[in-house]
Structure 1
Amino acid sequence: MAGLPSTARVVIIGGGAVGTSALYHLAKAGWTDCVLLEKNELTSGSTWHAAGNVPTFSSSWSLMNMQRYSTELYRGLAEAVDYPMNYHVTGSVRLAHSVERMQEFQRAKGMGRYQGMDIDVVGVDEIKRRYPFIETHDLKGALYDPSDGDIDPAQLTQALAKGARDMGARIIRFCPVTGVRRENDEWVVETAQGEIRCEIVVNAAGYRAAEVGKMFGREVPMMVMSHQYILFEEIPELAAWSKEQGKKLPLLRDVDTSYYLRQEKNGMNLGPYERNCRAHWATHNDPMPEDFSFQLFPDDLDRLEHYLADAVARVPILGTAGLSKVINGPIPYTPDGNPLIGPMPGVPNAFEACVFTFGIAQGGGAGKVLAEWVTQGQTEWDMWSCDPRRFTSFAAAPDYCVAKGMEIYGNEYAIQFPRHAWPEGRDRKLSPIHDRIKALGARFDAYNGWERATWYAKDGDDISEEATLTFRREGPWHNRVREECLAVRDAAGILDLPGFSRFNLDGPGAAEWLSLQVTGLVPKPGRIGLVYFADDEGRIVTEMSVVRHDENLMTLITAAVAQWHDFEWLKSRMPKGAPFRLIDRTEEFSTQILAGPNSRKILAAVCSADLALPWLTHQETKIAGRWAKLVRVSFAGELGWEIHTRVDDTAAIFDAICAVGEQHGLRPFGMYALDSLRLEKGYRTWKGDLTTDYSILQGGLERFVKWDKPDFRGKAALLNEKQQGVKKRFVTLVVENPGDCDAPSVSTLWHEGKIVGETTSGGWGHRIDKSIALGMLRADLAEPGTRIEVEIFGDRFQAVVQKDEPLWDPKNERLRA
């Protein structure tokens, strides 16, 4: 066995499918001086007992991209690296019991077709044709995915390992990592075989990722579930059918019941995601063992009885087979079920590629994404869905991780409805006026852990969980949201907005440095401005509001969920020994939005501020004897102010405004109303309309580009794009004669039978009474008046490209009043 080298460019910790894929893709990118360290044998963690299913289905564009890439890679891998592999591309049938499930399938079909996959939604007759042993009496239809199948996880891992070794990368087995330390801007990785120095470390330690994370001072948000699947003995009818047809049955998923059923040789493999699931190694009484390599948990078949009975009723030949084996092994979960791929938060030159629930299906794509992060500092696809920085410190609390992990596991195949708020792990971060707005009827959802009101219910409204299980526009919230929007339009509304991420940038040279990071101008003292950050390719990284207090002090305000992402983006680009500093002050302040034509009258009654100051200014004042910062902006698109307060002062200020506001028609409004109001203004949302999938110019943000600045990040790329011609453009669409659903993000845009773009967000505009979609459209079609079609859950609706101005208050007269 080759000894441990003393240095490497990259060290990967963990030798499962994901770790070896990362090594393989780094080597393919020319980074061959990379070493993978595995504490036992390759595949000894979750990989060896994985079922090895390789679906492409996802309701997430980025995860579908990653899984699609995996299927494409695996098809040619055996030949590419000269290593034999069992990879059966059988296709799959995903069953639907409800109209809502069929809608989900139609959306996935649209996304898959856009990515070049031949996914289809089929009827009951077609299910029976593809899967003759099935009972279909209670089904609505199915999603057929021809690319789905199964692969041998051990062979896949060994093939990736061989490919990486052949290109010059190294793998050291039986070499547990015992610690890491930072020396002279390098990592020193301590192992049982000695030390190795490197530039970059990758945590690919699977269900042991939290243990490795602690070595870096990083609390990895994760837990471990036990997942069981049952292998059945040979079924003669199945063996005869396979022999006659010369193929295996398609993989069957009954997602509404929550299991998969796969042909395994001439028997079957049943894998449920049971509601009565079990977490492991979650308490002090049940610690993770020092080594669990190639080990399993004891069988726990009682939990699976319901699912086994359902599967036998669905595929009766299963009931004729005896059990041959039960596999019950650990699989890791993050609080949202997606893996961690990208920069390790708060740790320089360290990355994560871990906590994969579907590591085989996603492993190929994960290796590609991780290699791009390491070698280029950015990824081809916007991968926010998997970015480790999407979770902040609250999410690492063990009780939170366990509650959310069990919820995700028990609802692994659940439809992600836009108005459904998952109940576990709630009330982690509360606004100082949480109880007050709750008493007013607020319904909540969590934004980076912060509970925010989504809408305000009245007595008699249906506030059950069942009411939210729909894609339909109409629901108990619809009329209430309308009332909230019209109150903001005609009188005044107040929105409690805890958790805005805010950073102070302070010190000599801060403004000059910030000017190099943003495409446009840094506002002057006393002003506030919206600024955009591009990467080196001119793609949209983030937007922030800059509140400039004086020459060398600014507050940068960004989305709640962007807290760690945006802070690290700024921090990592600050010059060494910079005379200015960046401080995260998110926890110290809270915000309320006061908007509507009566908002000035309300403020005039509670403070002595100069309320005639124009739009995009800010000032300090006192309300109820407490300090407040009034910022003259409004994401609601009406006359309004953001009121920034110290956390402890928020309640007193809210009470004072509400007491006066009563006589001016003031009512509270929530995030659903704000979303409707911003759509009518064409305002973008972070990681919805604003992602690295689009450039600043594609995003319609050229007015925020100051071309005559000497330099700024992404300038060369944007100049080149401007010269070559922008290929797609941001547009606002009005959907004509819409059905009962508005367009969700990544709904396909069609013109003359061809796909020409996609939506980035959509919803109902209550002030204009129209269905609105924001999106990206082929540049030659992005002319006002162009008629296209929007595919919404499988049905196509006529839509018209609007002028490049807001649908509501196009000249911003109300905003500036």
Structure 2
Amino acid sequence: MKTQVKALIVGGGAIGTSIAYHLAKAGWDDVMLIERDELTSGSTWHAAGLLPLFNMSYAATHIHKYSVDFYKTLEAETGLNAGFAVVGNLRMAQTQERMDEYMLYASTAETCDVKYEWLTPDQIKDRWPLIETGDLKGAIYHTEDGYINPADVTQAMAKGARQRGVEIVRRLQADAFHWTGTHWEVTCTKMVEKGGNLVESDEQVVITAEHVVTASGNHAQRTARMLGIKMPAIPVEHTFIVMDKDPELVKWREAGNPEHPVVRDADNESYAREERGGWILGIYERGAPARFEHGVPDSFRADLFPLDLDRIADQYMAMAERVPSCADSGLKDDFNGPICYTPDGNPLVGPAPGLRNMWLAEGFSFGITAAGGTGYYLAQMMVEGEAEIDMASLDPKRYASNWMTTEFAARKNEECYEHVYILHHPDEERPACRPLRTAPAYDRQKARGAQFGFVNGWERPNYFGPLDAPDSFDHDARSFRRGGWWPHAVEEAKAIREGVGLVDATAFTKHIVKGAGATAFLDWFTCNKLPKIGRINLTYALTSHGTTRTEYTIVRLAEDQYYLVSAGAWSEYDADYLKKAIEDKEAEFGRIELQDVTTQWGVFAIAGPKSRDVLKEVIKDADPETALSNKRFPWLSARQIELGMCPVNAIRVAYTGELGWELHHPMEMQTYLFDLLEKAGAKHGMKLVGARAQNWLRQEKSYRAFGNELGRDATPLEADLPRFVDLSKEFHGKAKLEETGVRVKCCTLLIDGPDDADPWGREVLYAEDGTRVGRLTSGGYSVAFEKSIGMGYVTPAHAVEGTRLKVKMQDKLWDAVVTCDSPYDPKNETIRKDG
């Protein structure tokens, strides 16, 4: 057995074996995988083995598609049949709203080359007469997926890995991880079986590895404790049952008919597939408990939990109505086992927070479906530095360690489990574990009708609804079309365009970077010129591939002191990258001090033609009439001012594209400042404004958003932001940025869409001749142009102003035209307005 390797994978399920296989295939010839028990002994062995292409996430859809395609090649390479039954997947809908969900998904699927068909209830009945379709609206049908034997596909990937030189060692448990500064030392204990239990022996071995990947499945909490980090991967019970033979199904197959597709009865929270003349029925019910919050007991191996029939009774009865011929089939077997979850249902894939060369592949609720693609894209990240798709939405650091706890993860994972088949509205807000992080003005805003969104643990107003709204999470307002919140957002957007609005932007991530080496470091770390003292600049930190890693607004406070503001949803993601970059370059540039001041400073953004008038009411200055003029407070500058008794670091910038300021204030004085501004704004008609209206307004200005237009799959030049890239200086990622060129290009589109819906930023784009040319990354409604608006990426030839395109919404193509950059006020006259 080797004791020194380039990469060590911990965990021998489908995920771990896929990572080992793909690392070896990518060229790493010194890879090792260890498993504390037997391969497939974790969740893999009791997985149902379904391979659904359906997924509302762009990144996860790519991952699932790669898996489905990859599994079909394994037998030719390894000689092992993975048991892939390509029977297709029939996802049925009982309501029009469910069909709306499928149509939104389908537009995204087209951007990832995932094929699908639409079926009417009559067409379903014609093909599969055993299925009762009287209550259905229709279905979406995938022809290329189906189900697979989880153990067989894992063994096939393991064999493929061994053929490529990977060493796989069973019965070896990782017990400690130590980073030496250059490599990992992993202390491992050999496991032995005694009396049916797996126990630790007295024999230990230390394996040194340049890189370590954890794919520990249900043991993720134990892994997290050993690494000294937090991660929200906690299992939830999942039940599927095996039914006795269905006589009509037996007759159907004996007559030479094909196997049924996997039948997903989403509105009845279940799936079913054929199994030797009977049916397997899997259920995603309410009330399934989280398990192993603090670790898997030593006695738990390939074990299951007792079946709780009462918990799944409704779904069981619904199956008898959906396939009446199985009503008298008895219960043959049951599987109620732990399946790992995360609060948003997406796995944790990428670098571990705060650690070097430690990679996580944890929290897979659809592990068999995701295994192949995870191995492929994670291997790209490790070997090449980045994946070909933006993997940020799966990054482990999206759950920051300063607020994510075991209790939070367990309760949110239970909620996520029961939401597998609950409609996935794009404007959905789920209520479990909320409110958690609240800024001081939370109660005041809630009393004024705020309906809140969840951003990095924070409560942030999405919009302000009627004061008698049922709760703070707008359950009754959400929709795949224009939800009940839409008219409120329209009025808020109009308030900023025509008068004045106040936005709570407290969730922004905020850092101070200072010290003798700060200027040289930031000049290298970001691609734009650094601002002068008292001025601000928009800039980007790039990846090693020249793509966009983080967007910053930088305020220069002093010669070697800077205030960095970045997206609120990505606090630990940004902090980790910044901290590691400083550690790497401090010896070269000199002392650099980093402070995360996110929770010290609240932020209100005031914007609109009357915003200066409101601030004049409360600013304390020798000449309040000129204190906010262009001469004393020009656009893209920062000043320390006093509003009443509150000291404010004011920045003259507005994400809405109107005259406005960001008011960064001491968090403990937020309620005072809120009351002061609200009182002063009353005479000017100031309106409280939420994030949804702000999102529409920034698209009218073509302001790119990180996580939408800006990400690790496109450079700033592809985002069409050359004005923020200073090619006269050297900066991290510059060579790759120049080498990449412009493969695609970001543009803004005005859309003549349906009367009751706007794009969500997930839709496919076509040229007028039917050629697919790109996809939207943002979408919404424009109050300035009174039509839908969107931003997205297309081929450079189609990014020219005036180009006519088609956007797919609700399974129809709608006219769209590429407009100029910043279609609202393209000369920035309103934002620079003097007074």
Q: If the TM-score is normalised by the length of the shorter chain, which range does it land in? A: over 0.9
1:527–1:183 distance in 2 versus 1, CA, 3 Å: same
The residue aligned with 1:244 is 255
Q: Secondary structure at the match of 1:320?
A: coil
- Offset at residue 395 of structure 1 (A): 5.3
Q: Secondary structure at the match of 2:327?
A: helix
Question: After the TM superposition, which of the residue ranges 795-804 and 635-644 deviates more from structure 2?
Answer: 795-804
The residue aligned with 1:295 is 303
The residue aligned with 2:454 is 446
* Correspondence list, 1:353-368, <5 A: 353-368=361-376
Letter in 2 for 1:795: K
1:11 is the counterpart of 2:8: yes
Letter in 1 for 2:777: T
* Correspondence list, 1:188-587, <5 A: 188-192=185-189, 193-245=204-256, 247-282=258-293, 288-394=296-402, 396-459=404-467, 465-473=474-482, 475-574=483-582, 575-577=585-587, 578-587=590-599
- Offset at residue 196 of structure 1 (A): 0.9
Any idea what the Cα deviations from partners look like across 1:603-646, whole Å, max 9, x if unmatched? 22222353121100001122232321010000111111000011
The residue aligned with 1:728 is 744
Q: Is the 8 A contact 1:394 1:449 kept in 2?
A: no
Any idea what the Cα deviations from partners look like across 1:342-369, whole Å, max 9, x if unmatched? 0011112111001111100000001112
* Equivalent of 1:173 in 170, 174, 179: 170
Q: Is the 8 A contact 1:95 1:255 kept in 2?
A: yes
1:784 is the counterpart of 2:797: no
Q: Is the 8 A contact 1:335 1:395 kept in 2?
A: no
Identity over the aligned pairs, expressed in percent?
37
Partners of 1:469 and 1:127 in 2: CA distance:
30
The residue aligned with 1:683 is 703
Any idea what the Cα deviations from partners look like across 1:655-697, whole Å, max 9, x if unmatched? 2222222112222111112112111111111111212232222
Partners of 1:124 and 1:510 in 2: CA distance:
65
* Correspondence list, 1:594-743, <5 A: 594-608=606-620, 610-612=627-629, 613-709=633-729, 711-722=730-741, 726-736=742-752, 738-743=754-759
- Offset at residue 91 of structure 1 (A): 0.4
Q: Is the 8 A contact 2:609 2:659 kept in 1?
A: yes
1:502–1:459 distance in 2 versus 1, CA, 3 Å: closer
Partners of 1:437 and 1:766 in 2: CA distance:
24
1:767 is the counterpart of 2:784: yes
* Correspondence list, 1:86-235, <5 A: 86-192=83-189, 193-235=204-246
Q: Secondary structure at the match of 1:59?
A: coil
* Correspondence list, 1:739-754, <5 A: 739-751=755-767, 752-754=769-771
| Structure 2 gaps, min length 5 | 190-203, 622-626
Q: Is the 8 A contact 1:111 1:747 kept in 2?
A: yes
- Offset at residue 461 of structure 1 (A): 6.0
Letter in 2 for 1:719: E
- Offset at residue 533 of structure 1 (A): 2.4
1:444–1:114 distance in 2 versus 1, CA, 3 Å: closer
Partners of 2:127 and 2:736 in 1: CA distance:
49
Q: Secondary structure at the match of 1:488?
A: helix
Question: After the TM superposition, which of the residue ranges 736-745 and 43-52 deviates more from structure 2?
Answer: 736-745
Q: TM-score, normalized by length of structure 1?
A: 0.96
- Offset at residue 282 of structure 1 (A): 4.2
Q: Is the 8 A contact 2:385 2:545 kept in 1?
A: no
Any idea what the Cα deviations from partners look like across 1:484-530, whole Å, max 9, x if unmatched? 22222222111122221011111113222222222221111110110
- Offset at residue 414 of structure 1 (A): 2.3
Q: Is the 8 A contact 2:449 2:468 kept in 1?
A: no
Partners of 2:542 and 2:592 in 1: CA distance:
22
- Offset at residue 478 of structure 1 (A): 2.4
The residue aligned with 1:800 is 817
Partners of 1:379 and 1:213 in 2: CA distance:
24
Partners of 2:757 and 2:42 in 1: CA distance:
44
- Offset at residue 222 of structure 1 (A): 2.5
Q: Is the 8 A contact 2:243 2:279 kept in 1?
A: yes
Any idea what the Cα deviations from partners look like across 1:747-805, whole Å, max 9, x if unmatched? 1111211111111111111233221111112221222222111111211111111123x
Letter in 2 for 1:262: R
| Structure 1 gaps, min length 5 | none
Letter in 2 for 1:656: L
Q: Secondary structure at the match of 1:48?
A: helix
Q: Secondary structure at the match of 1:87?
A: coil
1:167–1:721 distance in 2 versus 1, CA, 3 Å: closer
Letter in 2 for 1:237: E
Any idea what the Cα deviations from partners look like across 1:4-25, whole Å, max 9, x if unmatched? x221111111111001111111
Q: Is the 8 A contact 2:763 2:807 kept in 1?
A: yes
Partners of 1:89 and 1:571 in 2: CA distance:
47
* Correspondence list, 1:41-80, <5 A: 41-80=38-77
Partners of 1:30 and 1:63 in 2: CA distance:
24
Q: Is the 8 A contact 2:41 2:301 kept in 1?
A: yes
1:64–1:130 distance in 2 versus 1, CA, 3 Å: farther
1:311–1:352 distance in 2 versus 1, CA, 3 Å: same
Question: After the TM superposition, which of the residue ranges 795-804 and 301-310 deviates more from structure 2?
Answer: 795-804
Letter in 2 for 1:516: W
Question: After the TM superposition, which of the residue ranges 83-92 and 413-422 deviates more from structure 2?
Answer: 413-422
Letter in 2 for 1:73: F
Q: Secondary structure at the match of 1:730?
A: strand
Partners of 1:226 and 1:47 in 2: CA distance:
14
1:14–1:293 distance in 2 versus 1, CA, 3 Å: same
Q: Secondary structure at the match of 1:791?
A: strand
Partners of 1:394 and 1:103 in 2: CA distance:
37
Letter in 2 for 1:197: T
Q: TM-score, normalized by length of structure 2?
A: 0.94
Q: Is the 8 A contact 1:135 1:314 kept in 2?
A: yes
Any idea what the Cα deviations from partners look like across 1:539-593, whole Å, max 9, x if unmatched? 2222110011111110111011111111222222231534112221112111000
1:395–1:302 distance in 2 versus 1, CA, 3 Å: farther
Letter in 1 for 2:256: Q
Question: After the TM superposition, which of the residue ranges 125-134 and 422-431 deviates more from structure 2?
Answer: 125-134
Question: After the TM superposition, which of the residue ranges 293-302 and 729-738 deviates more from structure 2?
Answer: 729-738
Q: Is the 8 A contact 2:221 2:293 kept in 1?
A: no
